[in-house]
Amino acid sequence: MTDMLAELSAAGVAVWLDDISRERLATGGLDALRREKHVVGVTSNPTIFAKAVSDKDDYAHQVKDLALRGVAVGEATRMITTYDVRWACDVMGPAYDATHGVDGRVSLEVDPRLAHDTDKTNAEAEQLWWLVDRPNLFIKIPASLAGIPAITATLAKGISVNVTLIFGLDRYEQVMDAFLSGLEQARANGHDLTKMGSVASFFVSRVDTEVDKRLDKIGTADAQALHGKAAIANARLAYERYERVFTTHRWKALADAGARPQRPLWASTSTKNPAYRDVMYVEELIAPGVVNTMPEATIHAFADHGEVRGDTITTNYADAKQVIDALGGIGIDYDDVIETLEREGVEKFSTSWEELRQTVGSQLTIEGEH
């Protein structure tokens, strides 16, 4: 049988897992994916952790110890999540070593409730970096307006960053500029740029979910014909901007100092509409130097029936522009779509973080009563 995930990797796409849990770590499931399914990185987010920690049996021993010590809910939550991420960093160590630090990365997000506070995001990013204490960690910072200067400040300290919740092209430009500024400051601060890394997590399926909903309201044949096309077009145009930025003299000066580019990472790549091919956000976004972080089900689906047709991004820039223009032509306000998704993205992760805290709090209370 053809190893489709190996072909995908050979085409320049780093396969990462969009999931983490104590159970996956303890049973060796993550290590098996690394060894057998070409998985070379891991992403986590508040929703993933909220789901994982709800299975209290996997975390009972640690929660009991935290309860005995009288640790507050916020700090307990931080201890639980950093424990899992540190463990995952160790599991992915062989991938980190094999790729000389390009992959083998594990991402941990700052408290999303801080998304609109630059200084608190900076402080939390530094604290998480110190707590996990692994060179293959990525600190996830949302691409909110307050997050942009936090990205630069965090990188300036020599801390590797995964910029998350990017939906729009203009915001992506700001993210890349923040990355370049951060590396320039890191270099001035004496940090070794060859040890640093960064990805920019550009969300995919949520764009189609929002745009398709608006297309349904329009209801015309032209609107129906554009279903399921916005997200891929948007991501392809993001890659076009990535190519433009990372061929500039400004970037070349950093590259000459040993810096690696901030790779585009396709996030939210499981299809939400069952009418769509389940691996389309993988097949249609193949190009050199990208990351695709997938739920395990999508990884297995691609291994089973995915297709690698070479570069499916840079050969389709004209089509992507036509799709975005066509959406505007029938009344889809691109800027409003992006603004809605950015706002909802932070709100959803903040809600998940509160759910996580509540779960940890209830488990601490139960253990404290025993």
Distances in whole angstroms, Cα of residue 157 to Cα of each of 16, 125, 150, 183, 330: 26, 10, 11, 9, 46
pTM for the whole structure: 0.96
pLDDT digits (tens, 9 = 90+) for 263-294: 999 999 999 999 999 999 999 999 999 999 99
Look at residue 203 and give its three-state secondary structure.
strand
Which residues, other chains included, contact 204 with Cβ-Cβ below 8 Å and sequence gap of 6+?
Answer: 231, 232, 234, 235, 266, 267, 268, 269, 281, 285
For residues 310-322, average pLDDT: 98
Tens-digit pLDDT profile for residues 73-120 = 999 999 999 999 999 999 999 999 999 999 999 999 999 999 999 999
**Which residues are the active-site residues?**
140
- State residue 347's pLDDT score: 96
Q: What is the pLDDT of residue 11?
A: 98
Q: Return the pLDDT at 368.
A: 67
* Segment 117-161, tens digit of pLDDT: 999 999 999 999 999 999 999 999 999 999 999 999 999 999 999
User: CA nearest 269: which of 3, 43, 40?
Assistant: 43
Cβ neighbours around 329 below 10 Å, total: 11
Instruction: Dump pLDDT digits (tens) for 10-59.
Output: 999 999 999 999 999 999 999 999 999 999 999 999 999 999 998 778 99
Q: What pLDDT score was predicted for residue 2?
A: 85
Query: In which residue are the tokens 């780093």 written?
Result: 14
The pLDDT score that the predictor gives to residue 330 is 97
The pLDDT, as a whole number, for residue 55 is: 79
Query: Vertex 308, ends 305 and 309: CA angle to 5°?
Result: 130
* Whole-number average pLDDT of the chain: 96
3-state secondary structure of 263: strand
Give the pair of three-digit tokens for residue 200. Answer: 């920019």
**Phi, then psi, of 276 in degrees rounded to 5:** -90, 150
Write the pLDDT tens digit of every residue in 192-208. 999 999 999 999 999 99
The amino acid at residue 250 is: R
**% of the chain exceeding 70 in pLDDT:** 99
Residue with tokens 């990535």: 242
